Structure 1
Amino acid sequence: MRVTSEEQRLRLRVTALVWEAEGVLSAHLRRSDGGDLPPWTPGAHLDLHLPGGPVRQYSLSGSPADRTTWRVSVLRESASRGGSRAVHESLRPGDVVDVTGPRNTFALVDSPESEYLFIAGGIGITPIMPMIEEVATSGARWSLLYGGRSRSSMAFLPDLARYGDRVTVRPQDEYGLLDLDAFLGPPRQNASVYSCGPEQLLAAVEQRCVAWPPGTLHLERFAAHPTPTAAEEEAFELVLRRTGRSFTVKPGSTILEVLEENGIEPPNSCREGICGTCETKVVEGIPDHRDSLLTQEERDENDTMMICVGRARCRRLVLDL
Structure 2
Amino acid sequence: MITRIWSGASAIYLLLLPLSWLYGLITGLIRYSYRHGWRKVFCFPLPIVVIGNLTSGGNGKTPVVIWLVTQLQKRGWRVGVVSRGYGERAEHYPLILNATTTSQQCGDEPLLIWQRTGAPVAVSPRRPEAVEALLRAQPLDVVVSDDGLQHYALGRDIEWVVIDGESRFGNGWWLPAGPMRERANRLHKVQAIIINGGNARSGEVQMSLDAGEVVNLLSGERRDITSLTPVVAMAGIAHPMRFFSTIRRAGASPLREVIFSDHKTYRQEMLRTLVNSDEHLLMTEKDAVKCRPFALTNWWYLPVDVRLPSNSADILLRSIEEVIRYTAAQSEE
- TM superposition score normalised by structure 1: 0.27
Q: Which has the higher helix share?
A: 2
**Higher RCO structure (Cα 8 Å, ≥6 apart):** 2
- TM superposition score normalised by structure 2: 0.26
